[in-house]
């Protein structure tokens, strides 16, 4: 390993007997592993050779110690709560015993006591209740009613219809629907299904498309022609023209989310017109199906994270509710190396590059995650994560939200340790 020709006999013997065997093993391991950071690898190798734990082993040992301490504190608090509950139950048992052993009263005495108590209570209310405290009936506001399902209204599987459209028709409809706040809140996959489900409706001149005060169960998009809105105003039995609908307008958008909606006006075709109709049942079915699929997928992704192996289904569901979706543009830095972090990230769309010390080490795509240790430690980020695609979206789970829902991560890890020792 080392040329000893230029050294003395004693130094040559020391190198041959003590240094060369160690250097031989070290160089052999370096060649086999080919680490990206040889100095750190040699440091860890020498620590292991000396029987000392590595930095990672020290962190894990410290984490286990903290987890056990937290578990002890949690058990003490639980014991205190159970002790207080036991005392409360003892008091209630004593009260029941006193009631059972009390001398029986006649029916007349019981009635007399109740009437006396009611009179005293009414007197106290009259004494402290002045005119300013007399409750005034409040006008009822208009409620928003969502559709419920049960025995009286069973849920049925609804397959969204597909009505073919030309490219020009699709473009016109998309330009109109971009005005809708409900439409803009939908995912791209949902928008595509709803666009295909829009049903064309031809309205010849003079046809009454909707009537005033009738139940509103669908939305209309005016594509061509002209329609007039009429309403019966107070003091005049005849319908009055209140508005004209031109192409590019939407009628009845709110009825998609409110089951109690009624048509505010009657709509009559002033000339031959074409509208596109979207049923509320189709809208709700598409939205619910997408939400269910998305939630199930997120639960599967969270289940793959080793730190969450011991969480129950209810706890995983709570974490899904706590996830916040964040959107990023191309080349944006989601996390930066050596900067503090306290969030776990889960890729929802797009691709991201992981850069460590200026070198790209891997790529994240849909379903990948990073930053789980940020839920435990205050260590700086080990790498920079930058967006590669035109856009990307990531779900974020902060340490604060995790602790509020599940508890500190050391307690969760302590639960993992207990399950490993006592499965």
Residues 253 and 340 in one domain: no
Predicted structure pTM score: 0.55
Residues 330 and 265 in one domain: no
In a domain, 178, yes or no: yes
In the block, which residue shows the tokens 């590059």? 353
Per the CB < 8 A criterion, the answer to whether 357 and 336 are in contact is: no
In a domain, 176, yes or no: yes
Residues 259 and 209 in one domain: yes
In a domain, 146, yes or no: no
* β-strands 250-251, 218-224 pairing: antiparallel
Instruction: Check residue 129 and give its pLDDT.
Output: 45
Distance CA(322)–CA(394), nearest Å, equals: 13
Q: Note the helical H segments in 17-106.
A: 20-33, 38-49, 55-101
Residues 353 and 388 in one domain: yes
CATH code, domain carrying 359: 2.60.120.10
In the DSSP assignment, the letter for residue 54 is P
Domain range enclosing 260: 167-286
Distance CA(243)–CA(231), nearest Å, equals: 9
In a domain, 40, yes or no: yes
Per the CB < 8 A criterion, the answer to whether 302 and 347 are in contact is: no
Residues 274 and 367 in one domain: no
Cα angle 327, 329, 330; round to 5: 140
Residues 187 and 272 in one domain: yes
In a domain, 95, yes or no: no
Instruction: Check residue 311 and give its pLDDT.
Output: 85
Per the CB < 8 A criterion, the answer to whether 268 and 208 are in contact is: yes
pLDDT band at residue 229, thresholds of 50, 70 and 90? very high
10 Å Cβ neighbour count for 195?
19
10 Å Cβ neighbour count for 31?
8
Residues 248 and 359 in one domain: no
In a domain, 119, yes or no: no
* β-strands 266-269, 208-210 pairing: antiparallel
In a domain, 143, yes or no: no
> 46-55, 115-124, 143-152, 244-253 — which is least confidently predicted?
143-152
Residues 415 and 334 in one domain: yes
In a domain, 99, yes or no: no
The total of structural domains in the chain comes to: 3
pLDDT band at residue 13, thresholds of 50, 70 and 90? confident
């Amino acid at each position: 390993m080392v040329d000893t020709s230029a050294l003395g006999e004693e130094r040559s013997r020391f190198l041959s007997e003590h240094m060369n065997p160690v250097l031989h093993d070290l160089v052999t391991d370096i060649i086999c592993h080919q680490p990206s950071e040889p100095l750190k690898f040699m440091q860890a190798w020498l620590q292991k050779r000396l029987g000392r734990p590595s930095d990672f082993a020290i962190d894990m040992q410290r984490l286990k110690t903290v987890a056990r301490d937290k578990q002890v504190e949690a058990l003490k608090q639980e014991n205190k709560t159970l002790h207080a509950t036991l005392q409360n139950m003892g008091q209630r048992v004593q009260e029941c015993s006193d009631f059972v052993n009390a001398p029986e009263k006649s029916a007349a005495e019981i009635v007399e006591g109740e009437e006396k108590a009611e009179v005293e209570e009414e007197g106290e209310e009259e004494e402290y209740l002045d005119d300013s405290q007399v409750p005034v009936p409040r006008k009822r506001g208009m409620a928003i009613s969502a559709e419920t399902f049960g025995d009286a209204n069973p849920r049925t599987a609804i397959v969204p219809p597909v009505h073919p459209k030309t490219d020009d028709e699709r473009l016109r409809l998309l330009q109109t629907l971009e005005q809708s706040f409900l439409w803009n809140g939908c995912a791209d996959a949902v928008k595509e299904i709803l666009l295909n489900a829009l049903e064309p409706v031809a309205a010849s001149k003079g046809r009454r498309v909707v009537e005033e005060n009738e139940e509103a169960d669908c939305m209309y998009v005016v594509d061509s022609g002209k329609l007039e809105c009429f309403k019966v105003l107070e003091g005049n039995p005849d319908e009055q023209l209140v508005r004209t609908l031109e192409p590019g307008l939407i009628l009845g958008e709110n009825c998609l989310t409110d089951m109690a909606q009624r048509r505010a006006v009657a709509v009559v075709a002033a000339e031959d017109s074409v509208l596109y109709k979207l049923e509320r049942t189709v809208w709700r079915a598409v939205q619910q199906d997408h939400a269910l699929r998305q939630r199930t997928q997120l639960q599967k992704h969270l289940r793959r994270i080793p730190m969450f192996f011991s969480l129950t289904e209810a706890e995983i569901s709570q974490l899904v509710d706590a996830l916040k979706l964040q959107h990023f543009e191309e080349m944006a830095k989601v996390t930066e190396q050596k900067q503090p972090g306290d969030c776990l990230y889960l890729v929802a769309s797009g691709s991201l590059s992981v850069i460590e010390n200026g070198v790209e080490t891997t790529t994240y795509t849909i379903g990948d995650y990073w930053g789980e240790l940020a839920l435990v430690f205050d260590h700086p980020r080990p790498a920079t994560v930058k967006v590669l695609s035109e856009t990307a979206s990531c779900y974020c789970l902060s340490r604060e939200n995790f602790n509020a829902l599940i508890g500190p991560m050391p307690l969760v890890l302590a639960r993992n340790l207990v399950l490993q020792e006592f499965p």
